[in-house]
Amino acid sequence: MSVEVRPIAVTMGEPAGIGGEITLKAWRTRDASGLPPYFVVDDAARLQRIATQLEWDIPVAEIEKPEDAVDTFGNALPVIPLEVSAAVVPGCPQPETSAVVVSSIERAVGYVTGGQAAAIVTNPIQKKALYDCGFQYPGHTEFLATFADSDARPLMMLACEHLRVVPVTVHQPLREAIDSLRSGSIVETVRATVRALRQDFAIDRPHVMIAALNPHAGEEGAMGREEIEIITPAVEELKQAGYSVTGPRPADTLFHDRARTNYDAAVCMYHDQALIPLKTIDFSSGVNITLGLPFVRTSPDHGTALEIAGTGVADESSLVAALKIAARMAGNRTRSRLIFDD
């Protein structure tokens, strides 16, 4: 029985940033990279201007509905039109474009929840420009969570070919992150990570490594008691519930080549503890994945790069990786159709 090919929905991102450029460059590599079909919810004329100004021979084609992207993709970049009425200057975000940036996200969500798209890949947004116009969410992840019929807390996984990491605390000052660390949040994070490894990565019996917070895992309390009072109780609760976990282990021993062969994902206690090793291993092709949503969402693991917008030098590798991993995840969900009662 043949499986219907559904394209991936790509959002506009910040118009003054590099989103348009990397979207065009990714399409240009479609055959060499083995990219799945995708379409962009964007202003087709804007994208064509970018290609023309940078002297790229990349055709852009407006389509009416997502399913048209599959036939169009081989010959042109498919675009579901969304007009950007304000003039866009590379490197200079402006409040006038904020509404259309949000609309691009909302329409992409509608396509994936309606079954017309397989997944969403979001181009980077400039948060300050959105905040200035009343956007009330810390970022993409929290905004997308409002479309989920669930009380589950959305989580951020960062992934590359050789590593997956999930931070328990994310965008907080380090002092606040440590103060907010709780056994319950560690347990919740591991449960969501295991669920994703099963349904999205097709790993039947995932093993999760749990990082310590303090140097040397606290040295039995001499360098901090968080391991004793917060992390170890969470590990024991998870083990009693049947999860395959190890930890807390000193973070400085978890990410070398041999250590990474012993687990399917590492749960880290704070943002940089997770992102530094991943970006060191693969700075160009890291992917941001949102766990806990009823649809697949990935994103390049970088920002809008306003300082190089309009120059054509932006690296599309992370977007290419985000598209490919989104397609694999969506395929795994479709094939498995399993519900895990954790």
pLDDT in tens, 181-225: 999 999 999 999 999 999 999 999 999 999 999 999 999 999 999
For residues 5 and 74, the answer to whether their CB atoms sit within 8 Å is no
Say which CATH superfamily domain 162-281 falls into. Isopropylmalate Dehydrogenase (3.40.718.10)
Is the whole model's pTM more than 0.75, yes or no? yes
SS3 270: coil
pLDDT higher for 13 or 134?
Answer: 13
Q: Which fold does the domain 1-153+285-342 belong to in CATH?
A: Isopropylmalate Dehydrogenase (3.40.718)
- What is the rounded distance in angstroms from the CA atom of residue 229 to the CA atom of residue 215? 16
Among candidate residues 266, 296, 295, the one with its CA nearest the CA of residue 278: 266
pLDDT higher for 143 or 322?
Answer: 322
pLDDT in tens, 57-87: 999 999 999 999 999 999 999 999 999 888 8
Residue 313 has pLDDT above 60, yes or no: yes
For residues 163 and 286, the answer to whether their CB atoms sit within 8 Å is no
Query: What H or E segment, with its residue span, contains residue 127?
Result: helix 127-131
Mutual angle of helices 183-199 and 232-240, in 10-degree steps = 50
Residues of the chain with CATH 3.40.718.10: 1-153+285-342, 162-281
Residue 110: band (very low, low, confident or very high) from pLDDT cuts 50, 70, 90: very high
Q: Tokens standing for 242?
A: 């049947």
Q: Which residue has the tokens 């991936």?
A: 8
Residue 1: band (very low, low, confident or very high) from pLDDT cuts 50, 70, 90: very low
First to last CA, the chain: 32
Give the mean model confidence (pLDDT) for residues 108-128.
94
SS3 264: coil
Give the strand order in the sheet containing 60-62: 60-62, 77-81, 38-42, 8-11, 120-121, 297-300, 287-291, 155-160, 163-167, 265-268, 207-211, 244-249
- What is the rounded distance in angstroms from the CA atom of residue 160 to the CA atom of residue 284? 9
Rg of the Cα atoms in the chain = 21
